Structure 1
Amino acid sequence: MTVKAIFFDAYGTLFDVHSVSEKCEQFFPEKGMQISEVWRQKQLEYTWLRSLMDRYEDFWKVTGDSLIFALKALDLQASQEIRSALLNEYLRLKAYPEVREALELLSNRKLAILSNGTLQMLNPLVRNANLTEAFNDVISVDELKIYKPYMGVYELGTAKLSIDKTEALFVTSNPWDASGAKTFGFQVCWINRNNKPFDELGVKPDLIVRDLEELANILQ
């Protein structure tokens, strides 16, 4: 496997989207993880639907709308102040514990984030995790106004790093994203943190690991 550049998905791969459950729990005891799970699922669905309908709104708007849905679906009443407090947690998502060390081990290659998030959402996460120096670039779909797994998003990554897709590795914890990247022609690593089955979409990842530390050890 020749890997000259590595693209990382952000949400669920580098940063734990369910770290928002702690703040959800503060406002809605015993409902924190349930809110987070519905919120995340609807967030993803809205990106796919908006891409199919050609009705792009940026990821901050999508994340806010999906939070409103999650609260309604669970019959939870929340003021604008509470919704804002929960939404702002997406600017403070926690990096997974192995991320920083793994990126250091992989630093002899070009490294970039390729994400659905806007730069206004991604940059604070990178700064808060002290990862600013780890990446050659942080790339957002907002430049194209369409979400992954649109093929043009993955192509944008190769253009930004001036790399051939066959010499790049795409790393994600999201099976649908891994399938999109593999269809585009990337080498793909799926981070399977929770021992789940891979999607049945006619493609498979080249590597399956439990976390980024395992990937870094393989590529060393």
Structure 2
Amino acid sequence: MPLPAPLDRAEAVVFDAYGTLLDVHSAVQRHAAAIGPQSQALSETWRQKQLEYSWVLALCGRYAPFWTLTERALDFALARHPDVDAGVRDALLEAYRSLDAYGEVPDTLDALRRAGLKTAILSNGDPAMLDAAVTAAGLSGRLDAVLSVDPAGTFKTAPRAYDLAPRALAVERERIAFLSSNRWDIAGAAAYGFAPVWVNRTGQPDEYPDLAPVRVIRSLDGLLT
């Protein structure tokens, strides 16, 4: 059975990790009872600041490990939501090291590999946190490479961060399908020359019209159909 576009032209499929393969809100969800009614707001603030810090550092030409930004973002979120007991901090950070994978992830990775495609992660996460997350989610044997932006010394959407995937996989950028749930990441991948597929899990409105995805799906289930 022929593969659907853009997989029909791809030699590799590269995934963002956090929010695409791994549920970034699952850490807070595990401790929602202890956090109380501010759990969703806390999780959203944590994620927003984690990303914001990466963008600001990249624009300033500076870099820090993504785990450091994750800690700083949680500290901000706890300060922003003072009704939450700050004593949950250590438990939340530990939970973030072993986020839940979305349910369809293992079967999708297996199907892609059976189809003869290379599979990889390209993430802002630093190597230690990626290793812990991929192992905890049971994805290690389903990936040809787990790539951190750390060697590039910057974060996506900097082109030299995306450069890591073609180099590691020995595949031309035009032959890489890149999947992310983050629209800004899809914009960066489009500008770089990947074939980007937006995993729009929450039905967000589109943006960056000049840097469009080649496809939009609601979950990874839709990639092979």
Map of 2:62 onto structure 1:
55
Three-state SS of the structure 1 residue aligned to 2:25 is helix
Residue 95 (structure 1) aligned with residue 101 (structure 2): yes
Three-state SS of the structure 1 residue aligned to 2:213 is coil
Map of 1:26 onto structure 2:
33
Deviation string, structure 1 residues 132-170 (Cα, Å, up to 9, x no partner): 111111000111110000011111111010110111100
Match for residue 180 of structure 1 among 175, 188, 208:
188
Q: Which TM-score applies when normalising by structure 2? A: 0.92
Map of 1:9 onto structure 2:
16
Asked if 1 retains the 8 angstrom alpha-carbon contact of 2:38 and 2:84, the reply is no
Deviation string, structure 1 residues 25-70 (Cα, Å, up to 9, x no partner): 2332111111100000011000000111123110000000000111
Quick one: which amino acid aligns to residue 48 of structure 1? W
Map of 2:91 onto structure 1:
85
| Shift, 1:21, TM fit | 2.0
Map of 1:213 onto structure 2:
221
Map of 2:172 onto structure 1:
164
Quick one: which amino acid aligns to residue 205 of structure 2? P
Three-state SS of the structure 1 residue aligned to 2:177 is strand
Q: Which TM-score applies when normalising by structure 1? A: 0.94
Quick one: which amino acid aligns to residue 103 of structure 2? P
Aligned counterparts of 2:52 and 2:79: Cα–Cα separation in 1: 16
Quick one: which amino acid aligns to residue 74 of structure 1? H
Aligned counterparts of 1:49 and 1:186: Cα–Cα separation in 2: 24
Residue 104 (structure 1) aligned with residue 110 (structure 2): yes
Aligned counterparts of 2:15 and 2:214: Cα–Cα separation in 1: 15
Q: How many residues align?
A: 216
What is the aligned-residue identity percentage?
38
Residue 149 (structure 1) aligned with residue 168 (structure 2): no
Asked if 2 retains the 8 angstrom alpha-carbon contact of 1:24 and 1:35, the reply is no
